[in-house]
Structure 1
Amino acid sequence: MDLDTVREVVLARDRADLAQVGAGSAVLAGGTFLFSEPHDQLHRLVDITTLGWTPLLERSDGLEIAATCTLAEFAGARPGRELGAPTLRPEWPGTALFAQSCRALLASHKIWRTATVGGNVCLSLPAGAVLGALVALDATAVIWPRGGGERRIPLRDFVTGPGENILATGAVVRSFLVPTASLLARTSFRKIALAPLGRSGAVVMGRREVSGRCAITVTASTVRPVVLDFSAVPTAFDLEAALVELEPDIWFDDPHGAPDWRKHVTGLLAGEVAAELRRSS
């Protein structure tokens, strides 16, 4: 769709160019959502793909994923396979969630080559499975505020509701940091939808670290990602008790699933995820 109110496209070359992000402007990366519907309030786009950020970068404490990393790069970054970035270590089984989360999205491979990880996170939609995968891997968001400096926040605290997050006007998400402990973890993934190719009604991802710690992350069925932390893989009783304690209004309601159905299937999927993690121990 043409954005006929846009009068200027800024090709960002360094951080100083990001100062033009503010009221009436939007960050352009993949643009698959931006160009999908009218945005009459916009008059400027700031293209951050020209900043040349490395899609995936191995660090001493884990993996850094640039906000401009495409879904194709993210999904293709499996252990032992190089995709425009350092080869991921074969002892990083946690990266299995990368491709699984991309396949949970209603998107063609053409979209995969354009849409970005940062875009999926910043849209903050319940069905944002890439967002959910990074939350499940205990990622941290690196944010560049408009006035300079850097802010880091656990990604589980980034989203506040459907399409809502803590990103302030003028701030830009730079990258996501996934710790080594999560990359070394065993994971499990489950998804359900009302139709074979329908939008996700519930997505549950589990992470069991080498230390034994376990986290069960719920997305799509909830208005924001929910993480249930345990000292070990939870029993069926402990898992059910943790789900029951969630506030009633956490369950999402839209044409792709009623809250009571989403709550019910989430419990079933969470049980399967916990069972799989227990078998892999």
Structure 2
Amino acid sequence: MDLNTVTEVISPAGPGQWRPGDAWMGGGTALFGEPRPHVTRLLDLTAAGWPPVTVRDDSVEIAATCTIAQLAERLSEHTVVRQCCHAFLASFKIWNVATVGGNLCAALPAGPMISLTAALDGVCVLIGPDGRERRVPAAGFVTGEGTTVLRDGEFLRAIHLSKTALGTRTAYRRGSLHRHGRSAVLLIGRAQPNGEMSLTVTAATRRPYVLRFPQPPSPAELDAALDTIPAGQYVDDVHGRPVWRRHLTRHYAAQIRTELTA
């Protein structure tokens, strides 16, 4: 979609350049996906030259401008990363343009990078217009459909994942109304070596919900934890009704509990 109100593109862009009417731009697949009449200038982050993936001794840094193709290639040994990349069900064109950061910032319930980073206890690095940095848990970055914790002028610089989290055992379930349809339910379970278990509910809900258990839960304990998700938080759109999403969430959650406790 043409953004016919845009009169200027700043490339490369960085802190100190933002002004009202600006929009930070990564791959642009989400930015150009709908009308944005308030946007008059684009600040291009892809020209900043950030390495897509930086592996350190104890962590992995994923640049916000890392494309889905680059992520799938660099972290292909991790099953859950591959699964979330393929959850896009997108063409190679999208894979090579869409970015990890753009998927988070779009804050669509079905965003699989939201699912991945929340499930792996990622940390989002945000840069303000004055260059100051703040960090927020990936699980709390998205606050609702299309809304995040980003303040005016802030942009997402990177997401940090610990190697410990990447190395834990996971179980993945995804549901859609159609074989190649948008995710209506996406759940990721994670088992810790010390017996702790977490279950991340996304796509079905307006924001991620991470349920944590000190030990593998019983069926009753799992149901009780799922009951803490308010009924009004289940998404209602053409990709699935709330009652169906809630039912499928519980169905997949039970499967994940069985898989991770086997």
**What is the alpha-carbon distance in structure 2 between the residues aligned to residue 28 and residue 79 of structure 1?**
26
Moved over 3 A (4+): none
Does residue 144 of structure 1 match 2:127?
yes
Following superposition of structure 1 onto structure 2, how do residues 1-281 of structure 1 map, counting pairs within 5 Å? 1-12=1-12, 17-78=14-75, 95-279=78-262
Q: Distance in 2 between matches of 1:36 and 1:251?
A: 23
Secondary structure of the 1:151 match is strand
Distance 2:228 2:156 in 1: 32
Contact kept, 8 Å, 1:126 with 1:162, in 2: the verdict is yes
Question: Any idea what SS the aligned residue of 2:184 has?
Answer: strand
Unaligned segments of structure 1, at least 5 residues? 81-94
SS in structure 1 opposite 2:186?
strand
Q: Which amino acid aligns with 1:36?
A: G
Q: What is the TM-score normalised by the length of structure 2?
A: 0.95
**2:253 and 2:50 mapped to 1: Cα distance?**
36
Structure 1, residues 141-187: CA drift from partner, whole Å, max 9, x if none?
Answer: 00011122210111111111111111001001110011122112011
Distance 2:114 2:229 in 1: 20
Contact 2:15-2:131 within 8 A present in 1 as well? no
Which ranges of structure 2 fall in alignment gaps of 5 or more residues?
none
The residue identity in structure 1 corresponding to 2:82 is A
What's the secondary structure of 1:227's corresponding residue? strand
Alpha-carbon offset, residue 211 of structure 1: 2.3
Contact 1:141 1:153 in 2 (8 A): yes
